[in-house]
Structure 1
Amino acid sequence: MKLHVIVPLCALFSLTQQTPSRDKCVCELTHSEKAFPHDRLSTVEDDASKCNSNITPQKTVELESLLLGLEKRLPQLEKDVSELKREDDGQLSSVLSLLVVENELLEIKQLINRLNITMLGHQRLTTNTTKELDDLRAEMQELETYDTMQVVKRQQDNQNLKRDLDQCRNGLYPTAQPTEQPHGHCPHSQFRNISGPRVYTAGEYPGSYKYGAWGRDPKPAAGKENWHWMVLLTSGNKHSNYVRFYSSLSSLIVGVSTPGNVQIHSSNPTTNTIQGPNVVLYGDALYYNCYNQDAVCRFNLTTKGVTTVQLPKGTRFNSKGNFCHLDECYAFTDLDLATDESGVWVIYTTTQDFGNIVLSKVEEPLALGQTWRTSVYKQAVTNTFMACGVLYATRYVNKDTEEIFYSFDTTTGEERFNLGIFINKMSSNIYALNYSPVDQMLHAYCDSYMVSYKILFS
């Protein structure tokens, strides 16, 4: 019986082994849709990128700067013409007043010519850009016809829905106001924010001098109330031997320097000439880092004399304690001079303070006054300025943005590291920042361009 069972099993096994394997299954997919034109999409992306590069914030601010210069210049001309009428006695004084008016008319004419050229350029740019946008819109609408499954449409619907939800949420829960900021004794109340660029100009030497500084004298001599000053590092982006003056903001914008240069020394560099871009003008005197010294120099514009005050032992100088960010340090920015409502300050660091920022008041006659020590590392900072007795420090975010992130109140000694006030930059690097308490403007020198911002107090 067992033998009969075994034989059929062997036969079955033999038959199974001899069965041929199945053929492979092959599926043929026929796609009825048109192939997506990737080359056309790439062309649209290139055209959009070119359009973005043509329309920049600098172009708008340039026009605003010219209009601002004209706005400030016309009332001054009207005032000078009125004075000329009162002084018209046929004598030398009236002749001099007439020369002043003629110079102002010449500057206004130059400003208007530059304004006309800029406006014509903007009109052409607007016309060309409008046509390019219409072409891009038509091309994108054509490309959307390839989206038969309406993926893009659903994404747009989701984005619109998210926007509506955000608006609804913000309406129910409005953004909380920032906490009180330390402000010392400030006549303008508290520093809350900073405006977009109000002035943006290449000035008299477009693209020629990477490092420099500019601003106004918070305590000007009589007759110099509207003057603006500029210092250009003309020797290797490190040194300078003169300060250049402009009779008004509009003169600076169009690049007409009157009265021109006031020279510290005929050689550059040499003893007591300027080292580094962080200089300020206060009380008709220029304050700066003395050449090859850990000292502050004061150049009197009237007497042309230079006095100095030595900084504490261990002060870092000669580009050993610069402002920095991850990609770059700004050469010879060891000492930063600053002005505010109370006078002149110097910001620096020492070996004893392990590279942290030290702040000292500069008193008259030239001497160091009270000194404060902070806990912020100087080479983690890109710039500093003073306003109402409060030290503010900035750091590099990206090529378009700088952040005012830190403050030190000299009245209370309180430090903050979370201010979160952002500066919209017109160039990658800000080499000098000067606060002007006369008009609450912050003057920045950026890769040979001069930019100003309005400090917004509550």
Structure 2
Amino acid sequence: MYRLLLQNALRPSLQKRRMKDIWVWNGMRMTEVDRIMLGLRQRIKQLDENVVILEKEDDRNLYGAISLRIIELELAEILALLDTLNRTTSNYHHLIIETTAQLQDMMDTMVALVKFDKMQVIKKEHENQQIKKDLEKCKNEQKATLPPPTLSPGHCGLGQMVNVSGPKTYSLTAYGTSYSFGAWGRDVNPAPGNDKYWLVVLSSSNVYGHYVRQYSTLSTLLLGLGPTDTYISSSNPTTNTIQGPNMVMYGNALYYNCYYTLSICRFNMTTRTVSTVALPKDAGYNSKFPFGILGKSYDYTDIDFATDESSLYVIYATTGNFGNVVITKVETSTTPVLGETWYTSLYKATATNTFMVCGVLYATRYIDKETEQIFYSFDTKTNEERYDLKIHIRKMQPNIEYLNYDPRDHLLYVYSDAYIVTYEVMFQ
């Protein structure tokens, strides 16, 4: 009877323990649980033997009370072991739940990483496809401009100009995007040991400038390091102020359109003195014959300057030549003097810029935001004009406000919407 009562009392816990025992043995093989279960088996076995002995005893209840007390104590110890086993398996259960959650987080992270990697691969593939398209476009452009219509071979031993490549350099100046009109380059005919880069921004209403900034190297200019400022006048605008973006540095002197006058100014960078020479009275200035594009003009670009392998030129338009371009050589003495002059049939307002190479004038025009085209030439040696050139310049900004050729490195120096850019002129 006692044994039956004991078994009935222990049956729920034992069944629960057996289930956990199977789960533990099949799964984790936990050492602490094994130890407790072993102790339980021994205690239950001993308790079972004691109950059997108690049932067989016939002492008229003489020792029954004592035996029952012993069984009661053993039962209490068994219950204590069961409680310990419950806590231990509960702890393991919580640990497994936490571990499972962490593993799930790790799996989710791995899935996200795989997805991210796939997206990066797809992104790179799209970038590669775009680069391939751009490369094909460049190849097609090159094929379109090589060879162009036959040009005058020039007179410098360079052969025909066949293409313009680049940009080779492209950088925002130290002024940022505040000033979209300006000019820059190298002195085409520098004094020995004075080969510097120069930069002028039109800091007053994109029309006027009153000082020249110089840098020792191209790298310092691009980084905006260590500039030297030389002031032509104390403020803008005033006498001798630079008007318009078209200017050049030649023989340590800056040549530009004098403020509000029909004259060329020559500013000596060493002595800081200005000398002038007047243009013909019917020449346009103050935006009478500026460069421009359809429906828009580049204000105060009536008077342009250009350099080539041997000379300095001024390009402008006159009423006597019906607003068409006139080219005049400038003799670079202490006081500038106007020299030989050529008259063209190019209406100045249809061009955006001009430059000279080997005695040949080239004119550009706006095609779209990405392309400027060299479409016209005039050979000062033969007076031959061409309107069928199709040499493209790939632009980085929509507008080119300044353009000049440097014969020493065969580069075009461009000022484009506050950015300074260079392109290489290629000869056949």
TM-score for the superposition, normalised by structure 2: 0.66
SS at match of 1:384: strand
- Residues 323-372 of structure 1, C-alpha deviations (whole Å, 9 max, x = no match): 01014210100000111111210000011111100110001321100000
**CA RMSD, Structure 1 to Structure 2 (Å):** 2.4
Partner residue, 1:344: 312
Partner of residue 211 from structure 1, selected from 164, 177, 181:
181
Q: What residue in structure 2 maps to residue 393 of structure 1?
A: 363
Q: Please name the residue that 2:286 is paired with.
A: 318
Q: What is the aligned partner in structure 1 of residue 347 from structure 2? A: 377
Q: Which of 430, 440, 445 lines up with 2:400 in the alignment?
A: 430
3-state DSSP class of the match of 2:343?
A: strand
2:243 partner amino acid: Q
Question: What is the 5 A alignment of 1:156-167?
Answer: none
Corresponding residue number in structure 1 for 2:123: 132
Amino acid corresponding to residue 166 of structure 2 in structure 1: G
Q: Are residues 1:453 and 2:419 paired?
A: no
Question: How many angstroms apart in 2 are the aligned matches of 1:323 and 1:175?
Answer: 24
User: Residues 186-201 of structure 1: matches in 2 within 5 Å?
Assistant: 186-201=156-171
User: Does structure 1 conserve the Cα–Cα contact (< 8 Å) formed by 2:312 and 2:332?
Assistant: no
* CA 1:135–1:184: 2 relative to 1, 3 Å: closer
What SS class does the counterpart of residue 250 from structure 1 fall into? helix
Maintained 8 Å contact 1:184/1:410? no
Stretches of structure 1 lacking an aligned partner (at least 5 in a row): 1-125, 138-162, 168-173
Q: What displacement does 1:189 show?
A: 2.0
State the aligned residue count. 297
User: 1:175 and 1:331, CA in 2 relative to 1: closer, same or farther beyond 3 A?
Assistant: closer
Partner Cα distance (1:181, 1:255) in 2: 39
1:363 to 302, 306, 331: 331
Distance 1:135 1:418, change over 3 A: closer
Amino acid aligned to 1:214: W
| Aligned equivalent of 2:380 | 410
User: Residue 5 of structure 2 aligns with which residue?
Assistant: none
> Which residue in the other structure is 2:256 paired with?
288
- How far, CA to CA, are the matches of 1:330 and 1:298 in structure 2? 23
Could you tell me how far apart the structure 2 residues matched to 1:233 and 1:324 are?
A: 18
Secondary structure of 1:345 counterpart: strand
CA positional deviation for 1:203: 2.1
Match of 1:307 in 2: 275
What corresponds to 2:201 in structure 1?
Answer: 232
1:264 to 232, 239, 248: 232
Equivalent residue runs for 1:74-113 within 5 Å: none
1:453 CA drift (Å): 0.2
Where does structure 2 lack aligned partners over 5 or more consecutive residues? 1-116, 129-135
Cα distance, 1:133 vs. partner?
5.8
Local SS of the residue matching 2:188: coil
How big is the shift at 1:135?
A: 8.9
Shift of 1:223: 1.6
Q: Secondary structure at the match of 1:262?
A: strand
Q: Which protein shows a greater Rg?
A: 2
Look up the match of 1:273: 241
Calculate the TM-score normalised by the size of structure 1.
0.62
Cα distance change of structure 1 residues 271 and 175 upon mapping to structure 2, 3 Å threshold: closer
* 1:253 partner letter: L
Deviations 1:378-411, CA, capped at 9 Å, x for gaps: 0000000111110000000000000000000000
Q: SS at the partner of 1:251?
A: helix
Q: Does the CA-based 8 Å contact 1:183-1:409 persist in structure 2?
A: no
- Aligned partner of 2:114 in structure 1 is none
* Sequence identity percentage: 52
Is the partner of 2:319 in helix, strand or coil?
coil
